[in-house]
Amino acid sequence: MLIAIALFAMLLGVFQFFVRYEYIHKGSVLWRVDRLTRQVCRVVAGAHLDCSGKQSTSLSVSPSLSVSTSTGLGTAHHPH
């Protein structure tokens, strides 16, 4: 039983480190995408995350787990 718990903990750690997050470099901005929660955060100063939601962000995930992001600042303006 102890071996099963240790194996589960090890697999969970591998998932967290290698599979859960995807990093996308777009221009001079690095984004971290959480594949479980779909949360998109901007990586600031190498390690700090900005998940404040000040940016308008959309995320699209296909069944193959490839991820694309679209970001924009401010609100969308529609012509009248």
Question: What is the 3-class SS of the chain, one letter each residue?
Answer: CHHHHHHHHHHHHHHHHHHCEEEEEECCEEEEEECCCCCEEEEECCCEEECCCCCEEEEEECCCCCEEEEEECCCCCCCC
Domain ranges of the chain: 20-52
Give the residue ranges of the chain where pLDDT is below 70: 53-80
Whole-model pTM: value is 0.50
The predicted pLDDT at position 36 comes to 87
